[in-house]
Amino acid sequence: MLDLSQYQSIGAALKDALDRFAGEVCLIEADRDREKERLTYREFEERAHPLAKALQDKGFSMGDRASIIMTNQSRWLISAYAIFFAGGVLVPLDYKLTPDEQWQLLKHSGATVLITEYPIWRQLSASPGRASANVQTVLVTEAPANASLAHAQRWEEFRGAGEPAFVPRERGDTACIVYSSGTGGHPKGCMMTHENYLEQCVALTSIYPFWPGVRYLSILPTNHAIDFMVGFFGPFTCGAAVVHLRTLRPEYVREAFPKYKITYVSLVPLVLKNLQKGLQARFDALSGGKRKIFNTLVAVNKALTKGRPRLGVSRLLLKQVHEAFGGELRTIIVGGAFTEPQTLQFFYDLGIPVANGYGLTEAGTAITVNDLKPFRADTVGKPLPGMEVRIVNPAGDGIGEVAVRSKTVMAGYLNDPELTAETIVDGWLMTGDLGKLDRHGHLQLSGRKKNMIVTEEGKNIYPEDTESVFEGLRVKEFCVFAANYIWPKRSMTGEQLVLVLHLEAGQQFSDELRREINTRNQRLLNYKRIHGVVLLEEDFPRTASLKIKRNVLAERLAKLDRGAAVLPL
């Protein structure tokens, strides 16, 4: 791989990678059972440079911001490289957000260029939120020949003549503005620097290396911190190949492993758990004799891999299982949310190590990761090289708030110095997660300190963001909380949102009010919905500027019995 310590920016590193690995395959794109295209690093460069030149011809220059809203495909990576080459700042947004949310983030980020795909653009162009953003150039991929693009331009035709001028950036410059999944009234744009990504890539590839011939299956959205790093920047600086599927139907994902001899794949816990259920169902369907033989082979594999993974042994003992994954799979990378230990153990027993870790968008991709020396399902691993982790204000059992200091920690939140100062204290990122370090240096997580939940899909939900849907509700006042924030629970799973209501004098929690809440709740994406209502008979505590004092209100609610207080919808 490249020596990233010698580089100042993502663009400079990728530029050299395209030259060094020119003849290697870097991208494979498949749609169902048909391979759409296969690009070498040289062909990738030939696609990206005319795009970078056209952006520069349009006036796009150093520090300008360009957003990508796309599903996983080669054009995502080509566009990102063109933006970095031209010295721009990338704003990767989640294509699953609503058009109004996307326009809000485009406005907040200050993006002047938007690159998206036709089905997404149809929704965006019809949204009233469009008028609020300052997007001046819109590029749309794969638009039908007769499509009306409403002042947008076709990505395929947006090309400049001649070579673009490479624009160098410094390590401390902002490379990306990354938003968490929660997006409502208070967007949180993490300003990630070039150094953040360069240092994170060095740390991760020191434990889980890439090289020419490695094939990474990109399933998580590329805007996700994990896939941006290990599904784009990491593989590209090592000469590896990324495989994109234009469909995530299970049968085509399964076929991709043997077809493309996948080496690595990243998943969120929910997908990993579903994969476990599918495999377990197949194992349970074996006849009595075959099941006994299989269980014996699993037991032998467990005994031989107790200290460390031994892929050759596992592939020999459990040949059919490994052949179903293509026979080349080295590790499944899982992150974005907490993974249950029994799921991790299930795969390790089959000889398929799962590199579970822990991280925040604010700290790059990962803070800790299991290095499998030895494998431990009960922790989220040890701090990566270059990461300092400490426990702040530990209780008698050693549990306190996890804080991290590293060159991978963001520069701050965009346009929000107050929140930045609350989050980064004396150089330490306060994660809001609770945990402890054991005597071997492994981090064990036990719950959350902050009023936020993380779903099994790796989505961050800030309860404040859900409140906008309930504006105008005919009650005196309301507030949304993560239930585990009010009633602390030593768990990283099963978190839910609750709606706290203070009714008008003499008002009852009627069937009509319940129906209205349910109707509004249905407007939210599944993972943002509330799961219960809490009634409070006193005024909410407020600041002089009439903002709700959430921490004080939470303390009052904590005195209630959770089981009796939460009314199901």
More confident site: 457 or 135: 135
Q: Which residues pair with 379 in a beta bridge?
A: none
Tell me what pLDDT residue 471 has: 84
Query: Residue 109 has which token pair?
Result: 């980020």
pLDDT bucket at 182, cuts 50 / 70 / 90:
very low
Mean pLDDT for 463-483 is 87
Give the span between the Cα atoms of 391 and 153, in whole angstroms. Answer: 51
Q: What are phi and psi of 325, to 5 degrees?
A: -95, 15
For residue 453, the model assigns a pLDDT of: 76
CB atoms within 10 A of CB 407: 16
pLDDT for residue 545: 52
Averaged pLDDT for residues 419-442: 94
The more confident residue out of 100 and 235 is 235
Ordered structural domains, the chain, with CATH: 4-265 (3.40.50.12780), 268-448 (3.40.50.12780), 462-568 (3.30.300.30)
- The closest alpha carbon to 252, from 242, 243, 239, belongs to 243
Are the C-beta atoms of 154 and 138 separated by less than 8 Å?
A: no
Q: Has residue 506 got a pLDDT over 70?
A: yes
Question: What band does 256 get if pLDDT is binned at 50, 70 and 90?
Answer: very high
Mean pLDDT of 242-248: 92
The CA distances from residue 537 to 67, 474, 478, 549, in Å, are 46, 15, 12, 16
pLDDT: is 338 or 478 the higher one? 478
Give the pLDDT confidence score for residue 184 in this predicted structure.
Answer: 44
Predicted confidence at residue 56, as pLDDT, reads: 98
Q: Which two tokens stand for residue 228?
A: 């941006």
pTM: 0.85
Q: Distance between CA 90 and CA 208 in Å, rounded? A: 26
Whether 263 shows a pLDDT value over 50: the answer reads yes
330: pLDDT strictly greater than 90: yes
Cis peptide before 374 (omega within 30 of 0): yes
Integer-rounded Cα radius of gyration of the chain: 24
∠ CA(272), CA(273), CA(279), 5° rounding?
A: 90
Least confident stretch, 138-152, 157-171, 428-442, 455-469:
455-469
Amino acid 32: pLDDT: 87
Q: How does residue 459 score in pLDDT terms, banded at 50, 70 and 90?
A: confident
φ and ψ of 184, to 5 deg: -60, -125
Mean pLDDT of the chain: 92
pLDDT value of residue 543 = 67
SS3 for 91-119 is: EECCCCCCHHHHHHHHHHHCCCEEEEEHH
Where do runs of H (alpha helix) occur along 305-435? Answer: 311-317, 319-324, 341-349, 417-423
Q: Which residues contact 279 (CB under 8 A, 6 or more apart)?
A: 321, 346, 350
Instruction: Give the tens place of pLDDT for each residue, 25-69.
Output: 999 999 988 999 999 999 999 999 999 999 999 999 999 999 999
Written as six digits, the tokens of 393 are: 């204000």
